[in-house]
Amino acid sequence: MTVYFSQQLQANSLPMIRLDEMVKKVLSLKKRHRIAVAWAQDANTVGAINKAVTDGLAEAIMVGSSAEIVKTCKNSGIDPGLFRIVDSENEITASAEAVRLVRSDEADILMKGLVGTDKFLKAVMDKNNGLMLPGAVLSYVCALDIPSYHKLLFITDPAVIPFPSLEQKIAMARYAIEMAGRFGIDQPRLALIGASEKMSPHFESSFEYATMCKMALRGEFNNCIMDGPLDVFLACDKKSIEIKGVKTPVDGDADILLFPSLESSNPFYKGLMLFAGAELAGLIRGTVKPVVVMSRSESEKSKYYCIALACLMS
Distance CA 295, CA 56 (A): 23
Taking CB under 8 A as the criterion, the residue among 220, 237, 251, 253 binding other proteins is 220
Of 258, 139, 239, the closest CA to residue 194 belongs to 258
Question: Which listed range, 76-84, 155-163, 215-223, 302-310, lies at the site for other proteins (CB under 8 A)?
Answer: 215-223
Strands 33-38 and 109-112: parallel
How far CA 91 is from CA of 130, 258, 273, 282, in Å, comes to: 16, 33, 29, 22
Distance CA 35, CA 223 (A): 32
Q: At its nearest, how many Å lie between other proteins and the CB of residue 4?
A: 4
The smaller minimum CB distance to other proteins, of residues 42 and 220, is found at 220
Q: Can residue 275 be called a binding residue for other proteins (CB under 8 A)?
A: no
| 40 CB neighbour count, 10 Å cutoff | 32
Taking CB under 8 A as the criterion, the residue among 16, 35, 86, 213 binding other proteins is 213
Q: Can residue 24 be called a binding residue for other proteins (CB under 8 A)?
A: no
Distance CA 313, CA 283 (A): 9
Distance CA 63, CA 313 (A): 22
The smaller minimum CB distance to other proteins, of residues 74 and 198, is found at 198
The count of chain residues that interact with other proteins, using the rule CB under 8 A, is 24
Q: At its nearest, how many Å lie between other proteins and the CB of residue 169?
A: 12
Distance CA 64, CA 218 (A): 49
**4 Cβ contact partners less than 8 Å away, ≥ 6 residues apart:** none
Q: Can residue 5 be called a binding residue for other proteins (CB under 8 A)?
A: yes
Q: Can residue 198 be called a binding residue for other proteins (CB under 8 A)?
A: yes
Task: Judge contact between 138 and 168, C-beta under 8 A.
Answer: no
The DSSP output letter for 48 is: H
The smaller minimum CB distance to other proteins, of residues 214 and 238, is found at 214
Q: Can residue 125 be called a binding residue for other proteins (CB under 8 A)?
A: no
Q: Can residue 214 be called a binding residue for other proteins (CB under 8 A)?
A: yes
Taking CB under 8 A as the criterion, the residue among 199, 243, 274, 276 binding other proteins is 199
Q: At its nearest, how many Å lie between other proteins and the CB of residue 200?
A: 9
Q: Can residue 79 be called a binding residue for other proteins (CB under 8 A)?
A: no
Task: Judge contact between 69 and 141, C-beta under 8 A.
Answer: no
Taking CB under 8 A as the criterion, the residue among 125, 207, 222, 251 binding other proteins is 207
What x/- string results for residues 149 through 188 when contact with other proteins is judged by CB under 8 A?
A: -----------------xx---------------------
Q: At its nearest, how many Å lie between other proteins and the CB of residue 208?
A: 9
Q: At its nearest, how many Å lie between other proteins and the CB of residue 286?
A: 19
Q: At its nearest, how many Å lie between other proteins and the CB of residue 195?
A: 14
Taking CB under 8 A as the criterion, the residue among 43, 92, 132, 246 binding other proteins is 246
Distance CA 41, CA 51 (A): 15
Q: Look at residue 131 and give its three-state secondary structure.
A: coil
C-alpha 275, offset from chain centre: 21
The smaller minimum CB distance to other proteins, of residues 4 and 275, is found at 4
Which amino acid type is present at position 265?
Answer: S
Tell me whether the omega of the peptide bond preceding residue 15 falls within 30 degrees of 0, making it cis.
Answer: no
Q: What residues line the site for other proteins (CB under 8 A)? A: 1-5, 166-167, 197-199, 206-207, 209-211, 213-215, 217-220, 246-247
